Amino acid sequence: MLDLQRLRALHAVSVHGTVGAAAAALGYTPSAVSQQIAKLERETRTVLLEREGRGVRLTAEALQLVDTAEQLLSIVERAETALEERRGVPAGRLTVAAFASAARGLMPAVLADLARRHPALDARLTEVDPHLSVGLVARGALDLAVAHDWDIAPLPVPPGVEQAVIGDDPCTLLVPEAHPFAGRASVRREELGGERWVCQPPGRVCHDWLVRTLRAAGHEPDIVHQADENPTLVALVAAGLGIGLIPRLGRGPLPGGVVEVPLDPAPVRRLYALWRTGAAGRPSITETVRVLREQWPKVTAAAL
């Protein structure tokens, strides 16, 4: 008989791409995941993973098992949801993903509140980019995700996934204190041509928004420095190496040498909570969404 936990491990490797990433998502060590899959290989007398460079590749037999695992895990999820709904209280494990600045600026307060109110709920956070987290929710690899989009880059939500608005996060222009924009009451988008920019790498929502916005205003952006973390981008601005459009959430206090200037019209990114339609009745989902919305005004007020 196939072991569900071993199938879950194989499914996680398929979803996350590597044994290490699968282990992080499941809360195991990489060696534990490897052992689970090795046992599954012995049980099925089938090679499931093959070495490919520094990573692994799923064999055709493994992909067939992954399809079966998705069906079984979906059945288990429905059973767990029904039990939680019957109890009427948030309980059990809840896997949550959030993008970097939300993981830093919003989720600590949310998770602490949930732990205090609901000791039977085991909420676990993973930092995941919005481009990836929506698909992971749809595939059942995550229970809930906190993601965001922009006015010109809407977040695609696949069928079977529901969403709720958490709130809006304003984005402001950060410039070195000696920059000509530093003393301005506001700056129009049409004035941003010819600037040197610090920004997140291509493929990130903030990067795509900046490129589209500047091109729509008739400017080709000159992105001279790229970094994943907003504090790094702020430090680059403080060193006089460029200007940046950076949201307030999770940004932290501005260091000396950096000036915040409103952009006209002001860019805003909207935060969402997303979960599978089949899990909509879980008290742990509804309570987490409620706490996210409750904490949002508090964390945004602290960021001003």
**Cβ 247 vs Cβ 206: under 8 Å:** yes
Q: What's the token pair of residue 261?
A: 């200037």
- How long, in residues, is the chain? 304
Whole-prediction pTM value?
0.76
Is residue 136 exposed (0-12), middle (13-18) or buried (19+ Cβ within 10 Å)? Answer: buried
pLDDT tens track of the chain, all 304 residues? Answer: 788 889 888 888 888 788 888 887 777 888 999 999 999 999 899 999 988 877 788 999 999 998 888 888 878 877 777 777 777 789 888 999 999 889 999 999 999 999 999 999 999 999 988 878 888 898 888 899 999 988 777 888 888 899 999 999 988 899 999 999 998 999 998 899 899 999 999 877 788 888 888 888 888 999 999 998 888 999 999 999 999 998 889 788 899 999 999 998 888 889 999 999 888 889 999 999 999 999 999 998 876 6
Residue with tokens 């909207």: 270
